[in-house]
Chains A and B, each alone.
Chain A
Amino acid sequence: MAGKKTESLIITGNQAAAIGAKMSRVQVIAAYPITPQSPVTEGLSQFVEMGELKAEYVTVESEHSALSVCITASTVGARAFTATSANGLAYMCEQLHWAAGARLPLVLACVNRAMAAPWNILNDQQDAMSQRDTGWIQIYARDNQEILDSIIQAYKIAETVYVPVMVCYDGYILSHTVMPVEIPRQKDVDRFLPRYKPHTILDPSDPRNLNQVTLANPRLNSIGSLCHGYMELRYLLQEAIEGCSETIVAVDREFGETFGRSWGGMTWSYRLEDADLILMAAGSLATQATVAADELRAQGYRAGVLGLRVYRPFPKQDLIEATSKAGLVLVFDKSISYGNEGPICSDLKSALYRSKSRPVVHGYICGLGGRDIKVRELTEAAIRSLLWVRETESAKPTEWLNCQI
């Protein structure tokens, strides 16, 4: 176990992300400043400038270009990293699809922030949730240690399944808040994370035209092999993402064996064994929900927390099993799919359709644009939901927590 001689630093989530990328020995970094992400890339540019990290730091004029640089670098065999927030992530949208379609194992730190208009620099998770269908794996970290650890894990996952990974963490709540973080030893990280091997070696003596126009139907190439049409390539991407849960769990387990810490793989739980009432969320809000669960336990309710660590691939089977003994699940979403409901809530309901013992699911929208969420508000919501289930036959509509309209 390596845990004994490591140092601990009291650092922000952004510093943890920068150190995670540095210890992953990233070779190309390209990013454009945006609040609250900027300190990540400021930290990395400092590492490069001070000679602590042997990497190419490419300054660009936009987030679209930042991800383009990373795509190009990854294509020619370099481990590449970028970070962004909110409108910056939205500006990358086209290249997010490109990176996934080209099966490039990039890692992006998404420091979750509310989307404009109107301008708001504070936290919710609308930015990352709005990009859930771009073909990236999404991990939501609950504290600064998990940010650092997840970035190292993310490279291992991405480079195993050739799917890019977004490591998401809450702006300000984690990005600008200090807490103790254990820094692994570089030689242990090097042993855990081998060199990046691209899926296609670019070689002038065997040239390739990559991601060329690919029409609907399969085609015979010039040597008579039947090559994928567009639809077969989309199937392969879905197959890789749906099938990568095992890799995510195995990488987390191996991380635990090497560093003495693991994060639950796809989901994590708190006092869930006998819980009848489950609070569910992703990111730092789920950590906060553990305090609410303790409070509810003190009031005599059998409450627990189901933390969603990986949102894509959506851990359907884990969620079915984790909720099978509960009567009521409350999902707290920090984003909304306009015209429907919170995305985690609707995905959970969809997963539970196959479950033989379906709990009642109530959706709450909360914390948009940095609206404070108090533990008391979570416990009160839980008690309102319990009363609703007891007294009302009809389905409970999505409730906006602490919305003073």
Chain B
Amino acid sequence: MGTRDCKHISAMASPSIGEAGRTGEWRTSRPVIDHSRCIPVRKNKPSCFLCWLYCPEAVIKRDIPIQIDLTYCKGCGICAEECPSGAITMVAENDYVER
């Protein structure tokens, strides 16, 4: 079975999770969160969420604590740059150790 079965004659996608492929595979460094420094966690109510607002891939969920979908996070580092409390650190994938 070839790609002709998709019946498209030009490139197109439906806006939905995963349409652009597993973009998390492109990542060279990952955002690591210290939840104890995150404002919504400290206040225990919806607040700040600048990481959610700035994430260009919409992979951050506005939960307490926040969650990042690493299947699609490209590791751009904008969330770490924007976090006002320094709760997010970018760690090179090669150096990352699961704890």
- Is B11 in contact with A228, judged by CB distance below 8 angstroms? yes
C-alpha gap A219/B6 in the complex (Å): 11
Interface string of B1-25 (1 = CB under 8 A from A): 1111110111111111111110000
Q: Is A208's beta carbon under 8 Å from chain B?
A: yes
- B18 contacts A102, C-beta separation under 8 Å: no
CB within 8 Å of B: which A184-216 residues: 199-200, 206-215
In the bound complex, CA of A206 to CA of B15 (Å): 9
CA distance A199 to B5 in the complex (A): 16
Interface residues in A213-269 by Cβ distance below 8 A to B read 213-215, 218-219, 221-223, 225-229, 232-233, 236, 240
Q: Chain B interface: which size bin?
A: 20 to 34
For the complex, what is the distance from the CA of A213 to the CA of B81, rounded to whole Å? 26
Main secondary structure on chain A at its contact with chain B? loop
Complex-state Cα separation, A227 to B11, whole angstroms: 8
Contact (Cβ within 8 A) A209 B19: yes
B22 to chain A, nearest CB (A): 9
A199-B9 CB under 8 A given contacts A207-B14, A226-B1, A232-B3: yes
Report how far A226 CA is from B19 CA in the complex, Å: 11
Residues of B within 8 A of A232 (CB): 2-4
Interface of B is mostly: loop
Contact A218 B3 (CB under 8 A): yes
Bound CA–CA A218/B2 (angstroms): 9
Q: How far is the CA of A103 from the CA of B10 in the complex (A)?
A: 6
For residue A305, give the distance in angstroms from its CB to the closest CB of chain B.
37
Q: Which residues of B contact A229 (CB under 8 A)?
A: 3
For B21, list chain A residues within 8 Å (CB).
215, 219
The residue in B15, B16, B20 that gathers the most chain A C-beta atoms within 10 A of its C-beta is: B20
Given A211-B10, A233-B10: A222 in contact with B5 (beta carbons within 8 A): no
A222-B18, A226-B5 given as contacts; is B13 within 8 A of A208 (CB)? Answer: yes
Pick from B12, B17, B19, B20 the residue with the most CB of A within 10 Å: B12
A218 to B12, CA, bound (A): 12
A215 to B26, CA, bound (A): 13
Residue on B with the closest CB to A212?
Answer: B13
In the complex, how many angstroms separate the beta carbon of B53 from the nearest chain A beta carbon?
A: 22
Contact (Cβ within 8 A) B10 A199: yes
The interface residues of chain B lying within 8 Å CB-to-CB of A222 are 14, 16-19
- Which residues B13-69 have CB closer than 8 A to chain A? 13-21
Given contacts A226-B1, A227-B3, contact A209 B17 (CB under 8 A): no
Q: A222-B17, A222-B19, A227-B13 are in contact. List 16 more A-B contacts (CB 8 A).
A: A102-B10, A208-B12, A209-B15, A210-B10, A210-B12, A211-B11, A215-B21, A218-B3, A221-B14, A221-B18, A225-B5, A227-B11, A228-B6, A233-B11, A236-B9, A240-B9
Interface, chain B (partner A; CB < 8 A): 1-6, 8-21
